[in-house]
Amino acid sequence: MLERKFQRCDGCLVGFFSGPDQLRLDRVSNRGTCAYFYYMAGARDTDLNNNGVPPIDAFGFARSHVYSYNYFNPNAQYLPWSRGDGSTYPNSSATAARMAPHNNTTYNLTVNLLSQNANAQFQAHLGMRLPSGMRFRLTGNTNANCGGLSNGGTNNVREIGASGHTMTATCGMYIEYFPATFYLPIDHPLPEGFIEANRTTAANACSFTAATGVNRCDMYRYEIKPENYVGGAGGAAYQAAIRNFANWFTYYGTRQNAAIASASHALADVNNMRVGYFTINARNNVTMYDMGVASQKAALFGIGNSASGTIPATAPGASTLLGLPANGGSTPNTSAVNFLGQQFQRVPGSGERIEDMPIQVACQKNAGMLFTDGFNNDSATPTAPAINGLGAPFDTTGANTMAAIASRYYYNHNTNTVGLPGTSPLRGTTGAGAFAGGRCRYRKRAARSRKQVPNGNGWTVRPTCT
C-alpha cells in the first residue's frame, strides 16, 4: 500500500517528529534521512526501497488518518466503487478482502498477519526501539543477523525479549500485526460502539520517542475486534466497523484506488454531460463519452455486460475509469494543463469525426480539471507569456507558470478555442459540421478550474447543449 512519505533520520536522536504533533518535513542528506511510503506493507508495495513503517505503537501516527491522510478514518463511510449503472461493486469480505477490486489476492483482516512475501517487508532503522513481545523474522536466510537481532538458524518466527530492543543497524524484517487497527489522538471522540476501556494508550505516538511534559503527544490504539464493540461479534457496531475497514482496504487502500472510487461516485449520477479523460504522462487525445447514453457510460466505466452489483469477471481495460492504471511516471503538471487546453482546440484529424471532438456546438459550457498531488517536476515546461488585464487577484500572472498556461487558453485564444474575453468561433448547429458559424460571448473567467487530488489525470466535461 503506497501512501504518504514520512521523513525520518537514522539514529535515536532524530525521529519522525520534531515536536508534539509536528511531523518532520525536512530532507537533510547528512542526517541519513529515509523516506517511507507506509502504512501496510504487502503485495501492492512493489518499491522495496520504501518499506513499511514498523506497525508498533510508537509509530501509531502512520496508521491514523490524522497524519496519513489516505488511511482508514472510522468516521468516514467507504462505499464500494460505483459501476455507473445505478449499482456498486459488492462489499469487501473482512475475512477474504481483496488486495484490490480486480486482484484475487485476499487477506483475512480479522486475524494477526505475518506475511513473508518479499514485498511485505518493514524497515527498522538504526536507533528504533522495538517493543517486547513483537514477533518478527529478519529477511534473508535462517542464519541472518542484523541490528542486534538474529533468525537463530531456523525458519521460526522470533520474539523481542521482555526488555525490548534498540536497533544497532537498519534492517528489513517481517513483523506480525493485526490489520484492522487504527490510531486516533487522545482528544478525538470515541468511535461509535467502541468500548472505551478497551482502547490502548500509545505513548508519544505523535511526538519523538523520549518526549516528556509539554512535548509529549499520546494516541489511542483501536483494534476492530468483536470484544471491543458493544454487542460483540453479532452487534451492529462491530459489523459496521469491520465492513467499513474491509471496504477501505479493498477500494480505497491506495491513492490510485481512492481516486477511482471518488471519480466513480462523482460521475455515477451524471447523465447530462460528455466526459473524457487522459493520464498526465501518456497525454493521449481524449475520447468523449455521452453520459446520457447507457452504452457510452458503460464504456467509460468499463463494466461491459457484467451483471449489476458485481465485479466484472474481466477486469476493465486501462483506458476505462474503473481500470485506470497508476500514474507510472513523474508529475508533469504544467504539460498536462497545456495538453488539457489543447483538447478544446481540437479539430477532426484523419479518421476522426466532429462528433468525437470536445467542442460540439456554439455556447456549450466546458470545464477541465487536473487531478494531482500538487507537486510539479515537469522537465519540459510549456512556455506561456505573463498575463495582465484579468484584474485582481490574478494580475500579474508570471510567465510559464501553471496559471499562465491555463489562462492562455482563455485570454489569447485562437480560432478554435473557447476563448475569453470576447467571442469564439465554434462549430455551428447546422450545416456540414464545420467549426464555423455559431458565436458566443462568455462571461470572463480567470483560469481553468484546477483540483488537486491524488493520482494525475486530466478531465474534460461538457453539459448537454441545446
Question: Quick one: 300 and 176 in the same domain?
Answer: no
Helix axes 402-411, 333-343, angle to 10 degrees: 10
Question: Quick one: 177 and 41 in the same domain?
Answer: yes
Cell of 38: 507506509
Smallest CA-to-CA distance from 167 within 1, 15, 5, 6 is with: 15
Q: The dihedral of CA 308, 311, 317, 321: what is its sign?
A: positive
Question: Quick one: 232 and 304 in the same domain?
Answer: no
Question: Quick one: 370 and 408 in the same domain?
Answer: yes
Question: Quick one: 155 and 124 in the same domain?
Answer: yes
Where does a domain end: 251, 280, 306? 251
Burial class (CB in 10 A: 0-12, 13-18, 19+), 257: buried
Where does a domain end: 200, 224, 251? 251
Cell of 86: 445505478
Smallest CA-to-CA distance from 405 within 329, 339, 331 is with: 339
Question: Quick one: 244 and 287 in the same domain?
Answer: no
Cβ contact 264:81 at 8 Å: yes
CA distance 208 to 127: 12
The H or E element containing residue 173 is strand 171-175
Cell of 362: 456554439
**Is 256 within a domain?**
no
Question: Quick one: 175 and 307 in the same domain?
Answer: no
Smallest CA-to-CA distance from 74 within 242, 227, 233, 262 is with: 242
Q: Report CA Rg, the chain.
A: 26
Where does a domain end: 200, 218, 251? 251
Helix (H, G, I), strand (E, B) or coil at 198: helix
> How many domains, in total, are found in the chain?
2
Strand-pairing partners, residue 382, are: none
Cβ contact 220:183 at 8 Å: yes
**Is 163 within a domain?**
yes
Strand-pairing partners, residue 370, are: 458
**Is 260 within a domain?**
no
Tally of helices (H runs) and strands (E runs) in the chain: 5, 23
Smallest CA-to-CA distance from 72 within 228, 190, 245 is with: 245
Question: Quick one: 322 and 360 in the same domain?
Answer: yes
Question: Quick one: 291 and 190 in the same domain?
Answer: no
pLDDT in tens, the chain (466 residues): 434 455 554 444 457 787 888 887 655 444 444 555 555 545 444 444 556 889 999 999 989 999 888 899 999 999 999 999 999 999 999 999 998 999 998 999 999 999 887 778 888 888 889 999 999 999 999 999 999 999 999 989 999 999 999 999 989 999 999 999 999 999 999 999 999 999 999 999 999 878 899 999 999 999 999 999 999 999 999 999 999 999 999 999 888 899 999 999 999 999 999 999 998 988 999 999 999 999 999 999 999 999 999 999 999 998 999 998 876 678 899 999 999 999 988 888 888 888 788 887 767 888 888 888 777 888 888 988 887 877 777 777 888 888 888 888 876 554 444 433 333 444 333 333 333 333 333 333 333 333 334 344 555 444 333 2
Question: Quick one: 75 and 204 in the same domain?
Answer: yes
Residue 177 is given by DSSP the state: B
Question: Quick one: 324 and 382 in the same domain?
Answer: yes
Cβ contact 413:441 at 8 Å: no
**Is 264 within a domain?**
no
**Is 257 within a domain?**
no
Residue 322 is given by DSSP the state: T
Identify the domain containing residue 462 by its residue range: 270-466
Question: Quick one: 243 and 275 in the same domain?
Answer: no
The H or E element containing residue 150 is strand 149-150
